[in-house]
């Protein structure tokens, strides 16, 4: 596999991501079968754009009846750090009233976006709102949000690939990699 020149190190391959996602999907199925036996459907909300590859991998391997929807909530504005002020740019189309919801996120860092979205959905009378993330970076947490399910806990690095971007680019790399940030200052696209 040829690596992009901005890749310093591959943390997780596509195969590792899929394997771990399948394990977590089984854990989540067991949780809902045990705790919500009378509910036959879960609303799975992806936070665009970064969630797309992970969301697809999860949904295709989650053996449970689901409804799918998406939200666009921004807090990065093209940089490498959150500005801490989430804003809904595109809301979901389905009612969340009395629904069990799983928010699917690519990475949890500061926690601002997830805290905002979780409160927003609970204020709209969701029955429960759980968080599934591909990556968790707890060293960067600024608020008391904890994912319910995490595929990988990671150290402090700027990551690209498998939905993670730099200025909307590199999301389509089929792996998760540490970005060589020293090259970004004078990088020419």
Q: Which long-range contacts (CB under 8 A, 24 or more apart) does 163-167 make?
A: 163/49, 163/50, 163/51, 163/52, 163/53, 163/54, 163/106, 163/134, 164/50, 164/106, 164/107, 164/135, 165/49, 165/50, 166/6, 166/80, 167/78
| Amino acid 40: pLDDT | 74
| Amino acid 82: pLDDT | 55
| Amino acid 76: pLDDT | 56
Q: Where are the domains of the chain?
A: 15-76+86-154
pTM of the complete model: 0.92
Residues of the chain falling short of pLDDT 70: 76-84
The CATH number fitting domain 15-76+86-154, selected from 3.40.47.10, 3.60.70.12, 3.40.50.2020, 3.90.1150.10: 3.40.50.2020
């Amino acid at each position: 596999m040829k690596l992009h020149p901005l890749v310093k190190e591959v943390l997780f391959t596509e195969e590792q991501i899929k394997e771990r996602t399948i394990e977590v999907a089984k854990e989540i199925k067991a949780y809902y079968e045990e705790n919500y036996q009378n509910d036959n459907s879960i609303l799975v909300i992806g936070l665009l754009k970064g969630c797309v590859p992970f969301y697809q991998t999860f949904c295709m391997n989650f053996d449970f009846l689901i409804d799918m929807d998406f939200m666009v909530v921004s807090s990065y504005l093209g940089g490498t750090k959150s500005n801490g002020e989430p804003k809904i740019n595109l809301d979901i189309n389905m009612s969340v009233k009395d629904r069990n919801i799983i928010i699917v996120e690519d990475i949890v860092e500061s926690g601002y976006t997830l805290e905002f979205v979780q409160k927003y959905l609970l204020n709209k009378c969701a029955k429960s709102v759980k968080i599934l993330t591909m990556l968790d970076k707890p060293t960067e947490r600024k608020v008391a949000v904890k994912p319910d399910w995490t595929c990988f806990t990671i150290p402090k690095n700027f990551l690209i690939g498998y939905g993670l971007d730099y200025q909307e680019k590199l999301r389509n790399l089929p792996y998760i990699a540490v970005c060589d940030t020293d090259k970004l200052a004078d990088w020419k696209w």
